[in-house]
């Protein structure tokens, strides 16, 4: 009997072809999987073309920088489904409504293999962008899925093994914004008063070309930190804004840098959403700390400022080893040890004040009492040293390898504990430290295909002043898909596996650590 190849591949993600009890997934050799093609009978609401290719952008004023970028077009659906961020104009935004069916024709016109991961979305295994599905130059892959994730700020980026950091650094990233009826009912600022801000740091040579890490493993262990903080792909980002309320979608899209953020006029940061969508009620903070991959939606009302006035988003930059290197960066003058990375000038016109809604949403309950291991969390031990970046003393292995202790059951709820305290007392002492001992670094931990709730943080020692400062801006509320784990900490999270079966990833989202193998497969099995 002939087997439809695409149905066979999709079957890997629906639980029908797994050999329970074996150490590895033996259903198919990932190297034999053919690129997905359009499925007859799948009628998408939105159909897009997305191409990864070389290009140029004006990141620094008056200079043209060679980059890699996503280009594309809308084949079916509203033209607003695919737009481009203001700024340099090369960062795409896909905008959809929950429940819509999408087909995305991805073509790789890069000189090396690539694939797209849809960060934060619930996806069947073959659609998730696992590196086992990376396609060669000149090849195509068709994504087909229904958006079943609640409204929020998500994103997409390449996920080829050992090349994710380089490809994202070259410019390959985009926002994936989901709307739904619950969000509509909250009466948030309309799309034209949204301010998506993608923060990324980059270094440039004298000709304005990107400079990345060298080939030394030590450079990758330290992660990449750049000379300039770009917003929406440009240095010294500026925008005129109306004298009313706006929704700021903050996203740390850097390779390794942590950002500690605040407003220049000391107004509170009113958080209305995090990684997994809207909160139930807004929460005010003086500062926000975003690890790589973390997002925060912030309500801001500029009606209290006069026309022509300006308000800036200030940022302090920290390396994974928690060195504050803001003073060593370039850009706007320092303001109380931070730099303005985005400046908003208030337009003329009457002020229209708008208060943030009292009720934003009701997100799905994650109940600790329902966890199958509430008293015995699944432990993920984070360690670095001797040239290795490891989870549970292991690095990423074969594409389809799943260890016995990396299996979970569909329909269950679990507690995971990310333990970043094994190397305390043997730290680097800054970016210039030696390689003899274990490294103490912060690690933003990401789990594919789930959203989780942060339960607790514990330490094995006293937090120093830097750790205390950063912790004041943590966004541990709402639903998350990335959690920042500082040196000496153990963070427990609660997650439920309800949507798809198959092989997914959990990993550190410092992209250089991910490329070094601080990443593991886990299997959701029926």
Could you read off the pLDDT of 372-401 as tens digits, one per residue? 999 999 999 999 987 789 999 999 989 999
Please tell me whether residue 314 adopts helix, strand or coil conformation: strand
Q: Using an 8 Å Cβ cutoff, are 195 and 249 in contact? A: yes
Q: Is the pTM of this model over 0.85?
A: yes
Tell me the three-class secondary structure of 231-270, residue by residue: ECCECCEEEEECCCEEEEEEEECCCCCEEEEEECCCCCEE
| Angle, CA of 244, 179 and 176, to the nearest 5° | 100
Domains and CATH numbers, the chain: 35-185 (2.60.40.420), 191-346 (2.60.40.420), 368-525 (2.60.40.420)
Q: What is the per-residue pLDDT for 438? A: 55
For residues 109-121, average pLDDT: 98
State yes or no: pLDDT of 361 exceeds 90: yes
Q: Using an 8 Å Cβ cutoff, are 380 and 419 in contact? A: yes
Distance CA 50, CA 176 (A): 13
Q: What is the per-residue pLDDT for 120? A: 96
CA-closest candidate to residue 271, choices 485, 493, 95, 477: 477
- For 35, residues 6+ apart whose C-beta sits below 8 A from its C-beta are 133, 135, 139, 140, 141, 142
Q: What is the per-residue pLDDT for 516? A: 94
Query: How would residue 4 be classed by pLDDT, with cut points 50, 70 and 90?
Result: very low
Please tell me whether residue 415 adopts helix, strand or coil conformation: strand
Could you read off the pLDDT of 437-496 as tens digits, one per residue? 456 899 999 999 999 999 999 998 888 999 999 999 999 999 999 999 999 999 999 999
Mean pLDDT, the chain, whole residue set: 90
Task: For tokens 């998506």, name the residue.
Answer: 196
Please give the helix or strand (H or E) that residue 281 lies within, else none: strand 277-285
Q: Using an 8 Å Cβ cutoff, are 271 and 298 in contact? A: yes
How far separated are the first and last CA of the chain, in Å rounded?
26
Distance CA 234, CA 236 (A): 7
Q: Using an 8 Å Cβ cutoff, are 490 and 417 in contact? A: yes
CA distances from 453 to 66, 279, 410, 494, 510 (A): 40, 12, 18, 5, 21
Q: What is the per-residue pLDDT for 35? A: 62
Distance CA 446, CA 519 (A): 10
Query: How would residue 11 be classed by pLDDT, with cut points 50, 70 and 90?
Result: very low
- For 232, residues 6+ apart whose C-beta sits below 8 A from its C-beta are 85, 86, 87, 88, 91, 196, 197, 198
């Amino acid at each position: 009997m002939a087997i439809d190849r695409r149905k066979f591949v999709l079957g890997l993600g629906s639980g029908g072809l797994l050999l329970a009890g074996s150490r590895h997934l033996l259903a198919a050799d990932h190297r034999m999987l053919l690129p997905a093609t359009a499925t007859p009978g799948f009628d998408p609401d939105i159909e897009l073309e997305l191409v990864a290719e070389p290009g140029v952008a004006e990141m620094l004023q008056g200079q043209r920088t060679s980059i890699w970028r996503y280009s594309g077009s809308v084949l079916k659906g509203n033209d607003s489904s695919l737009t481009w961020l203001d700024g340099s104009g090369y960062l795409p935004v896909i905008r959809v409504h929950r429940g819509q069916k999408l087909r995305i024709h991805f073509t790789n016109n890069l000189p090396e293999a690539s694939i797209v991961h849809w960060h934060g979305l619930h996806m069947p295994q073959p659609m998730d962008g696992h590196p086992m599905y990376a396609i060669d130059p000149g090849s195509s892959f068709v994504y087909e899925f229904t958006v079943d994730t609640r409204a929020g700020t998500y994103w997409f980026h390449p996920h080829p093994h050992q090349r994710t950091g380089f490809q994202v650094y070259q410019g390959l990233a985009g926002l994936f914004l989901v709307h739904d009826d619950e969000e509509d009912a909250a009466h948030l600022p309309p799309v034209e008063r949204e301010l998506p801000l993608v923060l990324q740091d980059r270094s440039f040579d004298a000709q304005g070309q990107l400079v990345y890490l060298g080939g030394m493993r030590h450079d990758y262990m330290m992660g990449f930190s750049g000379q300039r903080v770009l917003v929406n792909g440009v240095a010294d980002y500026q925008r005129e804004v109306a004298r009313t309320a706006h929704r700021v979608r903050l996203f740390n899209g850097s390779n390794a840098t942590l950002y500690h953020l605040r407003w220049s006029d000391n107004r509170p940061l009113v958080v209305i959403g995090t990684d997994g969508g809207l909160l139930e009620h807004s929460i005010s903070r003086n500062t926000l700390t975003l690890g790589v991959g973390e997002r925060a939606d912030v309500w801001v009302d500029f009606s209290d400022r006069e026309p022509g006035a300006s308000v800036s988003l200030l940022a302090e930059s920290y390396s994974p080893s928690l060195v504050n290197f803001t003073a060593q960066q370039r850009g706007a003058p320092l303001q109380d040890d931070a730099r303005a990375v985005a400046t908003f000038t208030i337009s003329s016109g009457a002020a229209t004040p708008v208060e943030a809604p009292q009720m934003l949403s009701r997100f799905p309950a994650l109940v600790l009492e329902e966890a199958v291991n509430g008293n015995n969390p699944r432990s993920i031990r984070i360690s670095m040293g001797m040239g290795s970046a490891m989870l549970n003393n292991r690095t990423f292995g074969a594409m389809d390898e799943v260890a016995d202790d990396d299996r979970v059951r569909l329909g269950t709820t679990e507690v995971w504990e990310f333990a970043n305290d094994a190397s305390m007392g043997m730290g680097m002492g800054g970016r210039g430290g030696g390689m003899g001992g274990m490294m103490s670094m912060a690690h933003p931990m990401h789990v594919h295909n789930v959203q989780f709730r942060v339960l607790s943080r514990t330490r094995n020692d006293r937090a120093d002043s830097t750790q205390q400062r950063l912790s004041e801006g943590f966004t541990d509320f709402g639903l998350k898909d990335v959690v920042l784990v500082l040196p000496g900490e153990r963070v427990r999270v609660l997650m439920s596996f309800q949507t798809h079966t198959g092989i997914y990833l959990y990993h550190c989202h410092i992209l250089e650590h991910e490329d070094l193998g601080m990443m593991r497969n886990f299997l959701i099995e029926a």
